[in-house]
Amino acid sequence: MDFFYAPGRNHLFVPGPVNIPEPVIRAMNRNNEDYRSPAVPALTKTLLEDVKKIFKTTSGTPFLIPTTGTGAWESALTNTLSPGDKIVSFLIGQFSLLWIDQQQRLNFNVDVIESEWGRGADLDALASKLAADWSHSIKAVCIVHNETATGVTNNLATVRKLLDEHNHPALLLVDGVSSICAIDFRMDEWGVDVALTGSQKALSMPTGMGIVCASPKALEAAKSAKSVRVFFDWNDYLKFYKMGTYWPYTPSIQLLYGFRAALDLLFEEGLDNVIARHSRLGKATRLAVEAWGLKNCTQKEEWFSDTVTAVMVPPHINSSDVVKRAWTRYNLSLGLGLNKVAGKVFRIGHLGNLNDLQLLGCLSGVEMVLRDVGYQVKLGSGVAAAAAYLQNTIPMISSRI
């Protein structure tokens, strides 16, 4: 029942969905249960407590919504804003573009700050807009923490700093889909009002759970937000939280147990160690790209992403051929270039439950693919560059010392 079988493991290096660790697969390998028995609420309670730790919030309220990242976006927006509300949103790549498209279709008044793809959010422009907005017409600033299409990480601390400097009350809504649990994220410290991610990203689960966390200010905003919403309405959740039954509609039992296992693994490794691991894998990837003589789509080091690297191919090469070849010959799954960078970049996702040798295997594969499609990279060059860095930085596995 497999489509297009190939021997050996698939090397999954798209920036989501990512590899699921065996303990999570095991935890999900189960029959359904009555979600109205005492067991499911007892389980859910532990999840809601623990999810706050990975968002680094103590005051936030989490929602585990049976949806995808797109649905989590919609949940963030419709629960806090009213049609016509002015929001500032940064367009820096395909996923920020899709979110802006959603914002517009949800009838918000979106003030788009566009950057060249490969650059981060233009925070100077934000500063100007905030300075000019003495009437506080801007109701929310929406920002993608890590733009998955270009491998650009935005500086959220600065966004918060700007809002504070201008004493601006706008809500700060953050797409943390490809950052939370992989790149340093601090909901409370950075005054994020809504943060969200999806289960299939750094949490290393199957798709199907949109994880949204709302600050007290966001919950307050929800009381007056006039956007139409039912499925995504936080109030329905809050009502059931109060009753202690937690679920306004049926959750996936399997995802709940999978989330429990995923959180246990994260805490066993240590959240800081998880982030350090992503930082290491990100840097190693960039060193390989450099060794190959290729450019990173991300234009400056300050924006380098530790979860995905968008690699620019030379003009005579179509990056789609890289992706296609990787899959048809090496059982290697890479990410396509999207929209403006279609054909120009391919993407290496290096997030989730992943280790160094997996990455090096991928890099060696990319080298062969590049030669296959006509770029005469020196075989072993990227691997060597990455390994030279990794060998000095990989820690011992603490449970095995």
The tally of CA atoms less than 13 A away on the side-chain side of residue 292 is 30
Q: Which is nearer to a second copy, 83 or 216 (CB)?
A: 83
Q: Which is nearer to a second copy, 26 or 53 (CB)?
A: 26
Q: Which is nearer to a second copy, 170 or 265 (CB)?
A: 265
Q: How far apart are CA 65 and CA 45, in angstroms?
A: 14
Of the candidate residues 59, 128, 339, 355, the single one contacting a second copy (CB under 8 A): 355
Q: Which is nearer to a second copy, 147 or 156 (CB)?
A: 147
Q: How far apart are CA 215 and CA 112, in angstroms?
A: 24
Binding mask 27-56 for a second copy (x = CB under 8 A): xxxxxxxxxxxxxx-xx-------------
Tokens of 65: 């919504």
Residue 347 marked in a binding site:
yes
The tally of CA atoms less than 13 A away on the side-chain side of residue 99 is 34
Q: Does 381 sit near a second copy (CB under 8 A)?
A: yes
Q: Does 282 sit near a second copy (CB under 8 A)?
A: no
Q: Does 155 sit near a second copy (CB under 8 A)?
A: no
Q: Does 2 sit near a second copy (CB under 8 A)?
A: yes
Of the candidate residues 127, 133, 358, 375, the single one contacting a second copy (CB under 8 A): 358
Q: Does 271 sit near a second copy (CB under 8 A)?
A: no
Of the candidate residues 48, 112, 238, 336, the single one contacting a second copy (CB under 8 A): 336
Q: Does 109 sit near a second copy (CB under 8 A)?
A: no
Place of tokens 């923490």: 145
Strand partners, 335: 347
Least gap, CB of 173 to a second copy (angstroms) = 15
- Amino acid, single-letter form, for residue 374: G
- Residues within window 6-25 making contact with a second copy, judged by CB under 8 A: 6-12, 14, 16-23, 25
Least gap, CB of 34 to a second copy (angstroms) = 4
- Residues within window 180-219 making contact with a second copy, judged by CB under 8 A: 198, 200, 206-208
Least gap, CB of 132 to a second copy (angstroms) = 29
Q: Does 146 sit near a second copy (CB under 8 A)?
A: no
- Residues within window 111-130 making contact with a second copy, judged by CB under 8 A: none
Q: Does 4 sit near a second copy (CB under 8 A)?
A: yes
Least gap, CB of 331 to a second copy (angstroms) = 6
Q: Does 279 sit near a second copy (CB under 8 A)?
A: no
Q: Does 69 sit near a second copy (CB under 8 A)?
A: yes
- Residues within window 77-106 making contact with a second copy, judged by CB under 8 A: 83, 101-102, 105-106
Q: Does 259 sit near a second copy (CB under 8 A)?
A: no
- Binding-site residue set for substrate: 347
